[in-house]
Structure 1
Amino acid sequence: MQYYARIDRSCIRPAKDRQVTKRTAAEMDISSSIDNETTHKARSEGATRLNSLVASIYIFRLLFLAVCAAVRIQLDNGRYLVVFKGYPFYEKRAVRKGTAVICSCTRAQCNSYIHVDRDLNVVHEEIHHSHEPTRLIPLSNGRYCRSSNLPQMEFIEMANGKVCLYIDRYTFYQRSPRVWYCTNNVKCRSYTALSPDMRPLRMKIDHCHPPPKLLLNIFMTQRGKERLVYHDYTYYKQSRTRNGFRWGCTKNRWHRCKAYLHLADDLTIVRSNMEHTHSPHGTPLYK
């Protein structure tokens, strides 16, 4: 006797339906993966926006502190100043039982002042500056120097045709687009860094050797005027003579120096008066 199993054919789906079901499941997997990627991307973008916002707040806080906070610096002469919003102030006297200090502007005719506590937090300010902020040049020893106290800088052309920077009787050569080093760089490490408009940014002037002897040299200043250097003294072109030019000392206005040189067209000295009333770097000579 043979037995046959009864099969409900209604439970058997055609091959086409199975293919459609497989295809639908694959599409569902793809759509779910797309949804996951979209969610992950949205979360990443949200985290990126949050990080950018936090970074912006941090940068704004740093800029706010840099502009609004007061700092104490030391000048090259040893005196301390309080700098607030780019302007230097002198520390005058204590107020509020020693909890704050009055700081007045360094300009004599400026009435601006601030009150700072022991942590240099500004608790009160009266800012009415009638002048531009004083430029402070950072030095290599951590101190600062006022731009008005810097020595005079000029560009001179040497006998070999090279251009040097002339600062207080010392010469510097250009080592990089902005940095000039002392020409005696074997032992001396003095240098100065200039901005693109030839303003000093930082400098280290600590020569360990005497200045070089420039016997006779003519160079052009930044303003296009001719200058002559003779035995470390500088002269400017005064007038035309019969066979050359008369050169007067550049200190004749400030130190009433009557020294002069008469040079022929071939740069030979025809007549001279070398009795200067000052040293080569401008210090008056008292007899």
Structure 2
Amino acid sequence: MDGEIATAAAGLLCALAIYNYADISKRITIKKKWRKRRWWITTIHRNRTSAVMEKQIDELVAEPSGEFKKFSRMSLNDFEYLLNQISSQISKQDTQLRKAIPAQIRLAITLRYLATGDSYESLHFLFKISPQIISEIIPEVCLALCQALKDEIRIPSCPEEWLCIEKGFARKFPRAIGSIDGKHIVLDCPFNCGSEYYNYKRTYSIVLLALVDSQYNFIFADIGCQGRISDGGVFTNTLLWNKICTNSSIYHRRILCPVQILMFHTFFWEMEPLHFQNT
């Protein structure tokens, strides 16, 4: 008799356990049930195809008044050069669900953003591409451009290269070997940074400092110094200043004059003085 009671009790416990498990599983299934989407893609994007997007660029290129240069801030030749350099890095594979956005359009979106600073929402209406995808495209293309063009901007490595730059300035600015200036790039205040990026214009910024030759070709650029730092402070925190202090690859020479031998140092020319220590 005791064995039968024990068997019945065990069966009852198993039945209760199975019932509880089924009830819990049902509740979990109800909680994880996805709501039905109203649409798979926004209506204005449904007619977006590679042909439609490429037609936008082709129309700008065909316009004889130079609308393409106004749009991208560069000539068609420069655009095609950049496209050839980074096309393999930014191209995506088509899937069964949709066609990939062409590399040409990805580059055009990025150049338009860099040229105008338009918001992702504004670019979304222009290219019929969602802001979420644009927020992925722009960083990817910028990274590809940096990798492809990193050797285009470099400090001259020998006196002969500096002498060539000096000859370009010789007619109007003798002894100059570069024109240097900075630009404050406005940004939102970084988290937990206080007034570190707060500048004299009462905005938050980082500084782009660049050196160019007589043909406006960049030979040095430094980006990222905090906006609160003075022009001289920005300059003294650069690799270029370090090379000047160590006489590393920076061109200078002596000139023999009838009266005495003087040291005429070549210099960087700017439209306003840079305040830093003498060396």
- TM score, norm. by length of structure 1: 0.29
More strand by share: 1
More helix by share: 2
- TM score, norm. by length of structure 2: 0.30
Structure possessing the higher relative contact order (Cα contacts under 8 Å, 6 or more residues apart): 2
